[in-house]
Amino acid sequence: MTDVPPTDSPWTPDRVAYRQLLAGQPAYRLDQLWQGLYSHDKPPEDQTNLPKALKASLAERLAPALELAAEQLSDDGQTIKWLWNLPDQARIETVLMHYPDRSTVCVSSQAGCAMGCGFCATGQAGYDRNLTVGEILEQVVAARRATGERRLANVVFMGMGEPLANYDRLIESLHRIVADFGIGARHVAVSTVGLVPQMLRFAEEGLQVGLALSLHAANDDLRTELVPINRHHPIDELVAACQLFRERTGRRVSLEWAMIDGVNDRPSDAAELAAVARAAAAHVNLIPLNPTPGWPTVGSPPDRIESFVVELRRRGVNVTVRANRGTDIDAACGQLAAARSPGGPTSVTISTGAGAPDVTDQPRPDRPGENRAD
């Protein structure tokens, strides 16, 4: 399979490409069209100020890529999961989380994932293909439309796929999210499994976007078991990459740690993690492991998480605990696993993971237990 679907999304071309598509049109058309796409969240066909003939000629080349296959709401109605069909029948999922004062969208960067982390439903389902810029941005467009009055304030690349494995499209998408959708870079975060060469490049991009590293184990033997790519990018290289990110951007990396019962939640694990966090000048975000179909081990019980937090704090580590948002609809971290539509496996789903990523990682006193400070 190639990375290019049969039609291109209207959100894929950049301004240079659109200038060519608009050859013969008055110069103001480009700004008009761009504003329609990025300020009004409308594809050209729905932009009433464009001439009919132009819309028809653009429609021959461009069509929205995301077709809604299913929508699920959590019991409290505050978490929404969308399953999308893509033009080549690949499928992805997007999760939108509402908070009292803002909303966060968790976007996918690939259909599936090639990294094979055993505890993650996306990894269990395997890799399909990279998403295009338009397929990434249309997820943000859908979230902006659905938030209405409530502002879409945060975008996190914590859905399906490894964002840094789709590097160029990720970077282009980030620039458009910040410059064109107007979402502040500090309200955008990318999570990586730890692809060191791309982390080093990412540090030099001049973006103020947050970076999360899915660490899960702080010694190479255990991490290689949990996260196979660790064989190629061991922990000392990850620490160096985090240090560089901090130096270049002034921002600390957030180390993600899914708490797995009896596997990485012992006092000795906390001691190892504290040493890595200090060396990496990073803070730590604990995620109770969410259940997935292909992984037998369960998440750590709350009292073990509590002791782990205490142990990390005692060692001077800045730590938060992430809430499990969306587990009732398999929308939490690591639970996204959309099967391909007809032709491929028919079932839709979906296992677990880490729940609502809060890009600000601030303690939220309005929601006890979520990202709690202690």
Catalytic annotation, residues: 93, 333
Taking the least distance from each CB to ligand SF4, the nearer of 10 and 161 is 161
Instruction: With beta carbons less than 8 A apart as the criterion, state whether 111 and 128 touch.
Output: yes
Residue with tokens 């255990």: 222
To the nearest whole angstrom, how small is the minimum distance from the Cβ of residue 81 to ligand SF4?
A: 16
| Single residue of 354, 361, 364, 371 touching ligand SAH by CB under 6 A | 354
To the nearest whole angstrom, how small is the minimum distance from the Cβ of residue 314 to ligand SAH?
A: 24
Joined tokens for residue 317: 């580590």
137 touches which of ligand SF4, ligand SAH, none (CB within 5 to 8 A by kind)? none
Nearest to 217 by CA among 291, 125, 118: 118
> Closest residue to ligand SF4, Cβ-based?
123
x/- letters, 179..198, toward ligand SF4 (CB under 6 A): --------------x-----
To the nearest whole angstrom, how small is the minimum distance from the Cβ of residue 120 to ligand SF4?
A: 3
To the nearest whole angstrom, how small is the minimum distance from the Cβ of residue 126 to ligand SAH?
A: 14
Site residues (CB under 6 A) for ligand SF4, limited to 89-118? 113, 115, 117
To the nearest whole angstrom, how small is the minimum distance from the Cβ of residue 55 to ligand SF4?
A: 38
Distance between alpha carbon 22 and the CA centroid of its chain, in Å? 33
Taking the least distance from each CB to ligand SAH, the nearer of 147 and 297 is 297
Residue 162 binds ligand SF4 (CB under 6 A): yes
Residue 123 binds ligand SF4 (CB under 6 A): yes
> Closest residue to ligand SAH, Cβ-based?
334
Taking the least distance from each CB to ligand SF4, the nearer of 10 and 123 is 123
Residue 112 binds ligand SAH (CB under 6 A): no
Taking the least distance from each CB to ligand SF4, the nearer of 117 and 141 is 117
x/- letters, 158..197, toward ligand SAH (CB under 6 A): x---x----------------------------xxx----
| Single residue of 256, 265, 311, 361 touching ligand SAH by CB under 6 A | 256
Residue 13 binds ligand SAH (CB under 6 A): no
256 touches which of ligand SAH, ligand SF4, none (CB within 5 to 8 A by kind)? ligand SAH
Say how many C-beta atoms besides its own lie within 10 A of residue 341's C-beta. 19
Residue 120 binds ligand SF4 (CB under 6 A): yes
Q: Give the Cα separation of 204 and 192 in Å (integer).
A: 16
List of residues contacting ligand SF4 (CB under 6 A): 113, 115, 117, 120, 122-123, 161-162, 193, 214, 334
List of residues contacting ligand SAH (CB under 6 A): 113, 119-120, 158, 162, 191-193, 214, 256, 258, 287, 289-290, 292, 333-334, 352-354
